[in-house]
């Protein structure tokens, strides 16, 4: 999934703990092999190549979550944005550049989740391509957590490149501390908060971007215009009960912007923290209390 996974768990059996960590990471590798858009033997690669296919059990869950965020965002969270990502060079194999208006027009004709047909587990893409990179890391954390909860562990922290899931207790019974990265100073933290359990994900304009003529072009693209969204938001952190929810909603709420995003977060009962271009922080009532930098 093009990121580093970290597992921290508390148990009295060190030998077993190492095995549990390895087996939880094996689950992630299995998901990567089945759902990567880059691996030629994956289910998603075959689906995109053939334009049709069938969903297995895991992909049904991921697909239905993606459909939910597509509806909640009025089509801004779009799993068929893959051709646009390639055009801008935001996949690791691409050359990052601003496309021409003609290129964008031609590529937008191949984007649109509403054109995809699903009948139970049968999928017809109708010229679209699917990429679930926006929620797959979160689902991987949920899969790992479901496995580890069945073991003799008192608590654990899972980290997938900044996507966090915590459960249970530390030996000293203190809460889990989570840091929010400073969106303009990569080695700094802008705020921290404490969490008893749940999942955290952040979407920001600093994750994948390039500068051209003094303008920052980032990878969170509006599938209706083809351009990166631009509404004063530079980072969104979401606290939710599951990994896939925090992962999907961090992107969704970034795409919607602060006002619409705050309204949706309130309606869903999830915590959100917006960071704006002036580095002001805006949280709702479901987000844990922020404290200063450590």
Contact 238, 277 (CB under 8 A): no
Flag residues of the chain having pLDDT under 50: none
Residue 292: exposure state from Cβ atoms within 10 A (0-12, 13-18, ≥19) = exposed
From CA 120, how far away is CA 123, in angstroms rounded? 8
Name the token pair of 27: 């689950």
Per-residue confidence (pLDDT) for residue 93, from 0 to 100: 66
Tokens of 235: 């980072």
Q: For the chain, which domains are there?
A: 155-283 (3.10.520.10)
Which pLDDT score is estimated for 293?
A: 57
- Tally Cβ neighbours within 10 Å of residue 64: 11
The answer to whether 193 and 200 have CB atoms below 8 angstroms apart is: no
For the whole model, what pTM was predicted?
A: 0.95
Token look-up 């799993």 returns 79
CA angle 240, 35, 134 (to 5 degrees): 35
Tokens at residue 57, please?
A: 């059990």
Instruction: Tell me how far apart the alpha carbons of residues 27 and 115 are, in angstroms, rounded to a whole number.
Output: 32
Q: What is the pLDDT of residue 230?
A: 94
22: its two tokens: 């390895």
Question: Which tens digits make up the pLDDT trace of 201-212?
Answer: 999 999 999 999
């Amino acid at each position: 999934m093009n990121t580093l996974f970290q597992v921290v768990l508390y148990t009295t059996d060190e030998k077993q703990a190492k095995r549990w960590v390895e087996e939880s990471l094996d689950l992630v590798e299995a998901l990567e092999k089945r759902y990567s858009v880059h691996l030629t033997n994956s289910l998603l690669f075959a689906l995109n190549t053939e334009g049709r296919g069938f969903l297995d059990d895991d992909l049904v869950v991921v697909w239905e979550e993606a459909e939910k965020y597509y509806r909640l965002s009025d089509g801004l969270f779009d799993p068929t944005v893959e051709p646009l990502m390639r055009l801008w060079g935001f996949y690791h194999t691409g050359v990052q550049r601003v496309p021409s208006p003609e290129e964008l027009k031609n590529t937008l004709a191949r984007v649109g989740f509403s054109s995809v047909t699903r009948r139970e587990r049968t999928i017809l893409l109708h010229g679209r391509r699917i990429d679930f990179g926006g929620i797959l890391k979160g689902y991987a954390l949920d899969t790992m957590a479901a496995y580890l909860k069945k073991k003799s562990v008192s608590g654990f922290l899972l980290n997938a490149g900044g996507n966090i899931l915590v459960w249970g207790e530390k030996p000293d019974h203190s809460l889990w501390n989570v840091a929010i990265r400073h969106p303009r100073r990569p080695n700094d933290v802008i705020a921290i908060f404490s969490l008893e359990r749940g999942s955290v994900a952040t979407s920001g304009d600093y994750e994948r971007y390039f500068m051209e003529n003094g303008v920052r072009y980032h990878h969170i693209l509006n599938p209706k215009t083809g351009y990166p969204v631009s509404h004063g938001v530079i980072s969104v952190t979401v606290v939710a009960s599951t990994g896939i929810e925090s992962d999907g909603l961090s992107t969704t709420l970034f795409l919607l912007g602060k006002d619409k995003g705050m309204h949706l977060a309130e309606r869903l009962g999830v915590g959100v923290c917006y960071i704006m271009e002036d580095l002001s922080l805006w949280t709702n009532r479901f987000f844990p209390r922020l404290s200063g930098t450590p």
